[in-house]
Structure 1
Amino acid sequence: MTSLDHGDTAHNKNPLNKKLQKILNPKFLSDIDTQDALLALSDFFPENNVRSRRKLRSDTELRGLRLNEEFLASLETVNSALEQLSVEVKSIDSCYKDMTARLGETRERCAEVLEQTATLQKEMQQVEKRSLLLDAFCHKFQLSSQETQLLEQADEVGPSFFQALRKVQHIHTDCQTLIRSSDLHVGLEIMESMAGIQERAYENLFRWCQRTCRSFTGEFPVFTHELKNALQIVSQREALRVYVLDDYVTTRRSSLVRSFIDSLTLGGPGGNPKPIEMHSHDPVRYASDLLGWLHQAMASENELLVALLLQDIPDSVVSVDKSEIPMLLNRICEGASHMVKVRLEQILSNVIDSMDLFRISNNIRFYQNVYHGFLGDNSELLKFVADMYELSLKLFAKHLNGHASKLLESVSEPPFDLEPTIQFTESLTLLRSILSLENTSVAPLEGNRPLLHTIYESLVAPLIEYATISASLDSTLSQAELLIYQINCCDRLHQGLALYYSTGEETGFEKLLVQLQTHQDRLIQEQASFFLSKAKLNIIHMHYLTADKSYEGALSLYSGLESDSLLQAILSLQQLLALPDQHPIPQLDCLRSKKIRDYILGSGMRLVCDFYTSLHSSISDPSNGYGDLKDKLHQPSEIEHLLL
């Protein structure tokens, strides 16, 4: 390996080897400069021969000489151009110096002019600012000719009119600030000018509102946003607002009267509903249709007033008093209500049936409550309805009084079964019919005390009097039978009134209850007396009560209360206790109410037991001298068990 490396080194140091290597491996072929030189040489070395190679050097030098000559000629051209440029630069420099000198002289001469120019420019800027301020001032505190014409010659009112009027109001408000902060004279002049324009605008707006309100003659007028806005603005002048509403009320009142006449004679669209006059033969239906039409018209007009007066404008500054609506509604309905009143008076004066009168009275009272919801308390229309209701009550009471008079003129004796008579039953049926109608009325009965009092005084009280008179006609009846008859009558009357009346002296119902209780108490006494008489204790009872009040000695020494008399009476009582069917009064079965019958029998036996308890206590007292008589007596608890 070492010998081989040594051989390679000696080979490389051979000069001939280097030349061969240089010839065989030419590096110039990859050299860019060499390639460019060969390309340039190919231009004037077309053939590679001996002669060309010999002339190569001279040709190359000649070529370089020609190139240098061409370059020199080019430099001469450039040199001449530079010399001409130098001359021109010197001329420019001379001109510059001359101009500089002149400019200096001119600047010295124009310094004053420049100063004046700067001053004028500043003044121009101030004038421009003032012009802008003046334009802004005029825009803020003056109206355009178009806006002025729109406000002063307003045939039609629209958004542009309201916008111009709001601008006038803003200008008037801003002038107050202008007066406090700036020129007083200018502010007052502008305020005076705007006030004049505003007054003319208000007058034009007022006339437009009047014309618009007078056009609402139809059944369903439509209120535009412009009208609501106009009414809101006019409301800032209370007098103008009153005049506008007067025109509206007058127009609607006339329209309502025409509508009422059409409803009376023509009916609704296409004849449906039928004309109200077609039901004039039926007084109840006729009166109800009249009052119902007035209610419907009142509700419609109330909705129109609410839609007109209650503003829904976001920037509304005028508050509307809701209590004003009932007053306006009352004025609108005044004409139609007068016509309704006349017809109701005719109806009431011609009705001959008390039930019809009662139905009409109920309808009037119902609509009176309905109208009150629209009109409030102070209303002429409500006064007329109240007058009609009072008139109906008077006529109703007159009819009932006539019926009661006929009833009291034909009083008959009590029947054998002690039930109420036919006349009494018929009158009671009429009373129930009236109260059943009242009970089905929309208005509550408890809120109508005058009607209940009228019914009581005109019909209930005569029925009670009828029962009393009837009981006194038959002299053959016992006291118990008279009481049973009167209790039957009062109980039937009480049963008929209990569903409709509540206790209270203001309606008279309390008097009936007192009368019924009085008869029951008297019959209880009769029952107790009957039992004591059957037991032969009535004389003992009479003597005992007399002795208990005035006698101070032993009861056995009192006449009628001796031991033998008491013993016989007690034995008779014991025999009667074994016969319970003999306890009640025989006529007690004629009482139609089992509840009252049981109450009277039980209360009568309670009186007997109380008397026996008191008598047993007196007999058991040794100071009364009855000895061992008490051992032969039943205990009070035993008597109570047998009787109660």
Structure 2
Amino acid sequence: MSADRIMSSQRRPIVQLKDPVVQHEPSDSSTTHSPRSIGNPLSSKINSVLSTSFADGEFQEVLSTVDNSGLTNTPVTRRQLRLQLQQEVIASNGEVVEEFGRVAEQLKHIGSTLERLSQTYREMRAEIVTNRQHVTPILRESSSLIDERQRTDAKSDVLKRFVSRFILSQEEINALTLTSEPIDDKFFLAITKAKAIQQDCELLLGFEDQTLGLELMDQSSKYLNQGFQRLFKWTQREFKENNLETPQMNPSVRRALRLLAERPTLLQSCLEFFSEARERILSDGFYLALTGESSIPNQRTSVKPIEILAHDPLRYVGDMLAWTHSATVGEKESLEVLFITDGDKIAKGLASRSDLEPWLIPDNGTNGPADQDSTLTFNQLVDRNLVGVSRILRQRVEQTIQTNEDIISAYRLANLLGFYRVLFSKLLGVKSVLMDCLQGLESAATRQFRSLIRDHIGTLQSELQQPPHNLEIPAFLEHALSQLTAIMKTFDVSFDESADREADFNHILVEALDPFIAGCETLGKRMAPLHRAIFQINCKFAIIEALQPFNFTQGRIQQLQSSATEDMSILEDSQFTFLCNGAGVNDIFEAVAVMDTTPDTIQDLSSLPAFQPELLGRASRVLDDFLPSAHIDAIHNLNKLQDSLLARQLTESAVTKFCEKFERLEKLLATADSLHEAEGPRRVKLRDLFPRTTAEVRVLLS
């Protein structure tokens, strides 16, 4: 039975017996008492009942218990209510006593169980103490063994790490030294480990006892040297066995070259063999492109030979240079894939050879190992492969230059060689065998060009003896200008890195133009001044017209224009002299040219010989006869000047100058007549003898 049931049984009689008075009905015998004796208890009870609050929890619980008991409100029930409640209380108490009895029995059972547990615990404790006394020495020994094992494991781990770091395994030694083993990833891993051992041995050499470090370094160096020698022989064998038509190698060869870069001497030996093979292949390819024949048996090509397709020297040389340029670009790209990897490691290995081998330092200048870089070294490797091509190219181009007799073709050859020289300088640098070849060929082409010009000038000596009868430009100058125009067009479209193109072209003008200008001046010396000036102007204007379209000849054009201006002044003075002599006023103009304009001087004008009436009248008649055809006659004097507009301009300038002097003469004559009239009437006036006015002269000469 639970504790709640026990507690409810204990509470039940208390609640039911709280107010037993209300359960009894008043008996008939109570009416016999006196009202005072009866009224006091009853009133107290009534007051007690009436004073009970329905809000009281206990009272509500009593009412709820009575209501739940299922009692009916009858007299019998009311009389037996107390008895019934007491019976229920007694029954409940009996149940509680029974429950407590069962609890007591359970407690006794628990007590006996606890006693047995205590006895068992004491026995186990005694046994544990006994066993502990026997096990304690064993545990101490085991603990010491565990510590010893930990120390041994630590030493073993250190030894394993040391062996794996500083000792080559037998498999790795075999991979480095045995020729029967292949060159594969195992070999490269082994040689990498050997190099790492050498570097790590430097740390061991820092301790007091250096014996271990020295022994390990000697051992690793021996195996490493054997590995490099084996790698060197294997690389040479790969170069021999593989097809070198295209310099494409497998990754193992590239890895081998990167490793050999640490031994520049071994790498140089491998690359010398490689360069010799590539030189033979490129030379044979160039010869095949030229002639269609190859030194390799049974090799055929579908490409037509250059010697058959090239019908002129320029095309022939251009095709050879184009093939060389294409081969150089292809060779450089292929070798970049083969060598320029991992930060130019191979090229840097080549460049470092001079540092490791001082006897290879060049003697010319200060360009030693400090000035070399990987790019320059790589370009030298590419250039070395093209030595055979350069040799064939030099022979063929020199032969073409020597057999060429055309001036324009000679210049175009020189210009073409200069263009490719600039291209190859960007590919291989300025110091290379191919660049030296092109520079020499360009110089040879330039010398041939100058030699042909000099020979051409020498053949013109007979033409320089006879000036042209119509004062036009001579045939040799016309031919020279046509050649110069072709040369200037070629130079204009050429690729020139120079900032001053005019200065670069000036030496060509010196060779191709100045001798012909000097020849024209030589011809002009045998002519009259007027004809010489006309001839020189015709020649210079023709030269200016040829030079005008090009911006790199402006300086020479200015020089020619300045020189032509002097010749034009001669023609203008000649035209003015023609007008003065033809008009018969030359003596009159000379007489008044130095005359002052003071009244005394002007008054003496009539006393001058040129102003005597007879001479002045004759001059007036000559002037009248000359003026109607003067302009046409003056223009006819310059009819051999090829620029008719210039002839008119020069004539008009001379006419203007003539009119200015005539106007001054007219004013002097009028002033002299005015002064004489002031002194007294004269028989004949100067203006009457010389009546022409400046306006009339301008009209007639226009």
Q: Could you state the TM-score of these two structures normalised by the residue count of structure 2? A: 0.64
Note if contact 1:366-1:442 (Cα within 8 Å) is conserved in structure 2. yes
Q: C-alpha displacement at 1:274, in angstroms?
A: 0.8
Match of 1:178 among 195, 201, 204: 204
Partner AA of 2:271 in structure 1 = L
Match of 1:232 among 258, 268, 272: 258
| CA shift in 2, pair 1:278/1:430, >3 Å | same
Aligned position for 2:423: 370
| CA shift in 2, pair 1:469/1:142, >3 Å | same
CA distance in 2, matches of 1:231, 1:569: 110
Unaligned runs of 5+ in 1: 1-8, 19-81
CA distance in 1, matches of 2:173, 2:622: 118
| CA shift in 2, pair 1:243/1:316, >3 Å | closer
> Cα deviations across residues 439-486 of structure 1 (Å, max 9, x unaligned)?
4445589759677635643x533433443455566x7xx642342233
2:436 aligned with 1:383, yes or no?
Answer: yes
Describe the SS at the equivalent of 1:180. Answer: coil
CA distance in 1, matches of 2:380, 2:502: 26
Q: C-alpha displacement at 1:257, in angstroms?
A: 1.0
Aligned position for 1:591: 641
2:455 aligned with 1:402, yes or no?
Answer: yes
CA distance in 2, matches of 1:503, 1:560: 59
Equivalent residues in 2 for 1:12-91, closer than 5 Å: 12-13=74-75
CA distance in 2, matches of 1:229, 1:610: 96
Q: C-alpha displacement at 1:409, in angstroms?
A: 1.0
Note if contact 1:361-1:389 (Cα within 8 Å) is conserved in structure 2. yes
Aligned position for 1:124: 149
Partner AA of 1:386 in structure 2 = Q
Partner AA of 1:262 in structure 2 = L
Aligned position for 1:523: 571
> Cα deviations across residues 591-614 of structure 1 (Å, max 9, x unaligned)?
323564455346545765786799
Q: C-alpha displacement at 1:338, in angstroms?
A: 1.0
Note if contact 1:530-1:585 (Cα within 8 Å) is conserved in structure 2. no
CA distance in 2, matches of 1:569, 1:322: 94
| CA shift in 2, pair 1:10/1:153, >3 Å | closer
2:365 aligned with 1:311, yes or no?
Answer: no
Equivalent residues in 2 for 1:460-499, closer than 5 Å: 460-471=513-524, 479-499=529-549
Query: Higher mean Cα deviation, 462-471 or 183-192?
Result: 462-471
Aligned position for 2:167: 142
Describe the SS at the equivalent of 1:125. Answer: helix
2:193 aligned with 1:167, yes or no?
Answer: yes
Q: C-alpha displacement at 1:643, in angstroms?
A: 9.2
Aligned position for 1:202: 228
Describe the SS at the equivalent of 1:323. Answer: helix
Aligned position for 1:257: 283
CA distance in 2, matches of 1:239, 1:245: 10
Q: C-alpha displacement at 1:352, in angstroms?
A: 3.3
| CA shift in 2, pair 1:596/1:378, >3 Å | farther
CA distance in 2, matches of 1:582, 1:533: 15
| CA shift in 2, pair 1:115/1:540, >3 Å | same
Aligned position for 1:453: 507
Equivalent residues in 2 for 1:302-451, closer than 5 Å: 302-312=332-342, 321-411=374-464, 417-422=470-475, 424-443=477-496, 447=501
Note if contact 2:340-2:347 (Cα within 8 Å) is conserved in structure 1. no
Note if contact 1:266-1:274 (Cα within 8 Å) is conserved in structure 2. yes
CA distance in 1, matches of 2:259, 2:659: 90
Query: Higher mean Cα deviation, 414-423 or 94-103?
Result: 94-103
CA distance in 2, matches of 1:183, 1:461: 87
Identical columns (%): 22
Aligned position for 2:586: 538
> Cα deviations across residues 534-575 of structure 1 (Å, max 9, x unaligned)?
454533554566789xxxx95876999779479889989997
Note if contact 1:467-1:489 (Cα within 8 Å) is conserved in structure 2. yes
| CA shift in 2, pair 1:415/1:123, >3 Å | closer
Q: C-alpha displacement at 1:633, in angstroms?
A: 12
Note if contact 2:579-2:630 (Cα within 8 Å) is conserved in structure 1. no
CA distance in 2, matches of 1:621, 1:301: 96
Aligned position for 1:600: 650
Note if contact 1:490-1:516 (Cα within 8 Å) is conserved in structure 2. yes
| CA shift in 2, pair 1:119/1:290, >3 Å | same
> Cα deviations across residues 608-632 of structure 1 (Å, max 9, x unaligned)?
578679989999999xx99999999
Equivalent residues in 2 for 1:107-118, closer than 5 Å: 111=137, 115-118=140-143
Query: Higher mean Cα deviation, 396-405 or 330-339?
Result: 396-405
CA distance in 2, matches of 1:382, 1:397: 22
Note if contact 1:216-1:252 (Cα within 8 Å) is conserved in structure 2. no
Q: C-alpha displacement at 1:329, in angstroms?
A: 2.7
| CA shift in 2, pair 1:394/1:95, >3 Å | closer
CA distance in 2, matches of 1:14, 1:414: 183
Describe the SS at the equivalent of 1:388. Answer: helix
Match of 1:581 among 609, 619, 631: 631
Note if contact 2:659-2:698 (Cα within 8 Å) is conserved in structure 1. yes
| CA shift in 2, pair 1:479/1:307, >3 Å | same
| CA shift in 2, pair 1:611/1:196, >3 Å | farther
Partner AA of 1:138 in structure 2 = V
CA distance in 2, matches of 1:404, 1:98: 137
Note if contact 2:415-2:491 (Cα within 8 Å) is conserved in structure 1. yes
Q: C-alpha displacement at 1:636, in angstroms?
A: 11
Partner AA of 2:340 in structure 1 = L
Match of 2:246 among 208, 220, 245: 220
Partner AA of 2:507 in structure 1 = H
> Cα deviations across residues 465-520 of structure 1 (Å, max 9, x unaligned)?
443455566x7xx6423422331122112212333474588xx7776555434322
| CA shift in 2, pair 1:455/1:279, >3 Å | farther
| CA shift in 2, pair 1:98/1:350, >3 Å | closer
